[in-house]
Amino acid sequence: MSFDPQQRFVHLAEDGRATELPGGDAFWSLPAAEMAAYDTGWLVIEFECSEDWPNWERHPEGDEYVYLLSGAVQLLLEQPSGLQTLELKGRGAVLVPRGIWHTARVSAPSRLLHITRGLGSEHRPVHAEAVSRPGG
């Protein structure tokens, strides 16, 4: 049975089982105890972005696959050597290494597919001075 990947997320368990989950706000508003069930294995999530991400995030338990399906974004990665900006337009993919803080600037409305381990994910707010745009 087909489904809209923005409305239904998928959890890929370590034992090979795949489970459909409610997507969007329905997923993100699950109680913490219920969310913990998806910490192991991998989450497959698609969402639309029309504005810059308000947070940095990092995933200490695994690399993240970020696939731009349409639009244009700049992924910002805080590498040990400094801030790295990766520009994606139309479509393209990036592997974000485990433990690397990252965020996105949206240049055009975009659709992104993420495959990531949920366990231990962390977030912190974006500070305007850290990701100011050139000339801004």
Q: What's residue 133's pLDDT?
A: 45
Question: Where along the chain do its domains lie?
Answer: 8-128
- Residue by residue, pLDDT tens for the chain (136 residues) are 898 888 999 999 999 999 999 998 898 899 988 888 888 899 999 989 999 999 999 999 999 999 999 999 999 999 999 999 999 999 999 999 999 999 999 999 999 999 998 788 899 999 854 544 443 3
8-128 has which fold?
A: Jelly Rolls (2.60.120)
Q: What's residue 128's pLDDT?
A: 57
SS3 23: coil
Q: What's residue 72's pLDDT?
A: 97
Q: What's residue 136's pLDDT?
A: 38
Residue 44: beta bridge partners? 10, 115
Q: What is the DSSP letter of 128?
A: G
Q: Which two tokens stand for residue 48?
A: 């639309």
Q: Which two tokens stand for residue 93?
A: 């993919």
d(C-alpha 131, C-alpha 128), whole Å: 6
Residue 111: beta bridge partners? 48, 70
d(C-alpha 60, C-alpha 121), whole Å: 7
SS3 74: strand
What pTM was computed for the model?
0.86
- Helix, strand, coil distribution of the chain in percent, nearest 5: 10, 50, 35
